Structure 1
Amino acid sequence: MNLTPKDGFPYYFELAKNNSVQFIFKEITTIETLQNISEEKARFRYRPDKWNIKQVVGHITDHERIKMYRAFQLSRNESVELWGYDQESLVKNGRFNELTIKSLLTDFFNVRQSSISFIDTLSEHQLNIKGMARQFEITLEEFLRSIVGHEKHHIKIIQEKYQLE
């Protein structure tokens, strides 16, 4: 199947593969890809209307923060719709360009460590709790998998369009 980001959760599930959520969260693709990038390169935009790499890293971190809170709610059986958010507003109002790429990657790493700590506390029963995310009924495990799929989506774009070499 040839899915795109417009397909939503199924696209992100596909990118996250079928490994355990514990395993996929420990593969920190963002840091591995960007740990040696220069500040100059981190400000690069492949088109004027696209985010630079610092903004992408900030967005990935914001996304994980938001989605992990929602995952926490679902894991506690709160009846909540796993709604979206305005990513453009969050990036616009973030301070990503004022921060170094190193500090943005450190923040991402810290958020990821918190996510892993939370995931390690979940039971098999909790991973199978279902909730609504837009028009999809998904399990907590699938919701968690979509977070890493989202990260992989952005790293793939960075590798293809941001001239890292």
Structure 2
Amino acid sequence: MKYTPKDGFSYYFELAKGDTLQSIFSVLPTLEFLQSIDEEKAKFRYKPNKWSIKQIVGHITDHERIKMFRAFQLSRNEKIQLWGYDQEFLVNNSRFNELSMQLLLADFLNVRKASVSFIDTLSKDQLQRKGWARQYKITLEEFLRSIIGHERHHINIIREKYCL
């Protein structure tokens, strides 16, 4: 891989390139992997200041929820900045560690179903609409791909750092 997380969108695009949007938004690989993690392992942190697996799952869901709203705005030609958000603040003010892994995965699946439903309504022209995300001018399709790249990044971290 020629990019790292510090490269931002380029890194996430690389993780989600290739297949169609419908294909990369298929929830099965991620869901099957996350369902294999039991409740005890889901509380694990590989370092004291790092998120638990439950917090990562909640963060992935929150990220998609936030980014899909911005994708909706861009699809409707609203001239917006596809701004970031304070992920630490949102995770620190969540209840992810108190919730069951089953509930977190149900929420993840519900958000993904809504995302796929929205993507299915988009035309080719809408997917080519452009917006600014930091210093990058990107298409709606690229923005959507970055959501899955972000998810894959975190799943890779769980696989590598959480010894699963």
What range is the shorter-chain TM-score in? over 0.9
Aligned mates of 2:134, 2:93 — CA distance in 1: 25
Deviation string, structure 1 residues 62-97 (Cα, Å, up to 9, x no partner): 000000000000000000000000000000001101
CA contact (8 A) 2:27 2:109 kept: no
CA contact (8 A) 1:5 1:11 kept: yes
Runs (4+) off by over 4 Å: none
Counterpart for residue 19 of structure 2: 19
Counterpart for residue 163 of structure 2: 163
Taking only aligned residues, the RMSD between alpha carbons, in angstroms, comes to 0.9
CA contact (8 A) 1:29 1:152 kept: no
CA contact (8 A) 1:64 1:147 kept: yes
Equivalent residue letter for 2:158 = I
Aligned mates of 2:118, 2:105 — CA distance in 1: 20
Q: What is the TM-score normalised by the length of structure 2?
A: 0.97
How many correspondences in the alignment?
164
Aligned mates of 1:58, 1:113 — CA distance in 2: 16
Counterpart for residue 106 of structure 1: 106
Counterpart for residue 141 of structure 1: 141
CA contact (8 A) 1:29 1:155 kept: no
Deviation string, structure 1 residues 91-149 (Cα, Å, up to 9, x no partner): 00011011001110110000000000000000000000000000000000000000000
**Percent identity for Structure 1 against Structure 2:** 70
Query: Where does the alignment leave 5 or more consecutive residues of structure 1 unmatched?
Result: none
